[in-house]
Amino acid sequence: MTALGRSSRHHGCVFALLDGYRALAVLMVLTTHVAFTTGESFGSVVGPLLGRMDFGVTLFFLLSGFLLYRPWALSAMTNRSGPALGRYALRRAGRILPAYWLMVAVTLLVLPEIQPVTWSAWPVHLGLVHIYLPGYTLEGLTQTWSLATEVSFYVLLPVFAWLAGRRRRGNPRASTRRQLWVIAALGCFTWVFMIGRSLAGVDAGLSNLWLISHLDWFALGMAAAVVSARMEFTAPPTWMKRVVELGRDTPTCLGLAAALFVIGATPLGGPVDFSDLTTAETLFKHAIFGLTAIVLLLPGFFASDGAASTWAKILRHPVTVYLGTISYGIFLWHLVVLRLLVDWFDIAPFTGGFLPLWIATLIVSVVAATGSWFLIERPIQRWTHRRSPARVPLPQPSPAP
């Protein structure tokens, strides 16, 4: 998770639909957890689709790759300084950690089914290192694996940006090629790792949760950021213009994404329970999720801010935008809320009741996320921005024809 940030604004560019995509992503994550808990994901028709809504995590990873890398992509093309590391680190830490620490503390203290909690669970989970140490999978916190993976990306992103942008600076055409080659190499690391692990007969285990197992998804977002930045200069490549045209063809993008998602929900992507996936199923699911995500997100990356499609209107609706704004809190709190509601109403696992439990989980999670946003997240964001004011914005490059 999370592609965090109140406003999807970068160097004068506003990506008006991305808050809506955050809302979609977090609702998918919440839905798949409720569907699994109630057994709805094991149904014969809708079940596989609900069981594949962990796809929301893929959306979050691509959004992070796009939004966080774009300033570095543009700085390499203009030969201007990228984000200051101190400011970048302070803002990322302020955005992630305080709200997360509160949720972890509450979960470790109050969730009945994980009591008593060993003392070592506190530093492991508060330090976001539970994806590297076996034996620390706890109810109410299982969704935070993706947050730990995302934080790994935050830490390494300046290194990736340096590798991609240290040569051909100030030459948009040459810098674009350099960046895309480096980003492609980063994506290939994931496939080399997964295939090599399989050929060596090594059990995936926790390594399925590590950044290297998902780096290609972040790389897809980074590549889209390079295209977006390059389109701000004159004479972009023809293939980029076609990508942008596709992104502005919302019905085609949505149709392709829906078809790909349905294919991913077939047995080709493996079971939706905790059964082990074969190597072929793992690779197929991983590839189809990445492809579906980039196609689905193209309108958010490249549609004009005034796009009038029904999809754009849905994503820009005040309710959708608000859910996207508080999506981090929903992501953090929904699982412990779900577990407490199941205990409160004495609901046996896999016995149905999907819709009422979904509604209750959503409502309580939104209330908790609202409190998290107004009492913790927004005040801390404002403080980190005051402590690390933004540099003077980069001059606007010549518009593309």
Q: Is the pLDDT of residue 400 over 60?
A: no
- Give me the pLDDT at residue 390, please: 54
**Is residue 13 a part of any domain in this protein?**
no
Per the structure block, which two tokens stand in for 214?
């998902």
Tokens of 357: 């439990």
In a domain, 140, yes or no: yes
Taking the model in full, what pTM does it have? 0.93
| Average pLDDT of every residue of the chain | 91
Confidence of residue 43 (pLDDT cuts 50, 70, 90): confident
Indicate whether 308 belongs to any domain: yes
Query: Is the residue at 394 inside a domain?
Result: no
**For residue 389, what pLDDT is reported?**
60
Total of domains in the chain:
1
- Can you give the pLDDT at residue 305? 64
pLDDT of residue 274: 72
Q: How confident is the model at residue 44 (pLDDT cuts 50, 70, 90)?
A: confident
Q: Pick the more confident residue, 397 or 148.
A: 148
Q: Within a domain: residue 250?
A: yes
Q: Does residue 15 fall inside a structural domain?
A: no
Q: Is residue 9 part of a domain?
A: no
The average pLDDT across 243-255 equals 96
Does a structural domain hold residue 2?
Answer: no
Q: What is the 3-state secondary structure (H, E, C) of the chain?
A: CCCCCCCCEECCEECCCHHHHHHHHHHHHHHHHHHHHHCHHHCCCCHHHHHCCCHHHHHHHHHHHHHHHHHHHHHHHHCCCCCCHHHHHHHHHHHHHHHHHHHHHHHHHHCHHHCCCCCCHHHHHHCCCCCCCCCCCCCCCHHHHHHHHHHHHHHHHHHHHHHHHCCCCCCHHHHHHHHHHHHHHHHHHHHHHHHHHHHCCCCCHHHHHCHHHCHHHHHHHHHHHHHHHHCCCCCCCHHHHHHHHHHCCHHHHHHHHHHHHHHHCCHHHCCCCCCCCCHHHHHHHHHHHHHHHHHHHHHHHHCCCCCCCHHHHHHCCHHHHHHHHCHHHHHHHHHHHHHHHHHHCCCCCCCCCHHHHHHHHHHHHHHHHHHHHHHHHHHHHHHHHHHCCCCCCCCCCCCCC
Domain hosting residue 194, numbered range = 27-387
* Confidence tier at 304 by pLDDT (50, 70, 90): confident
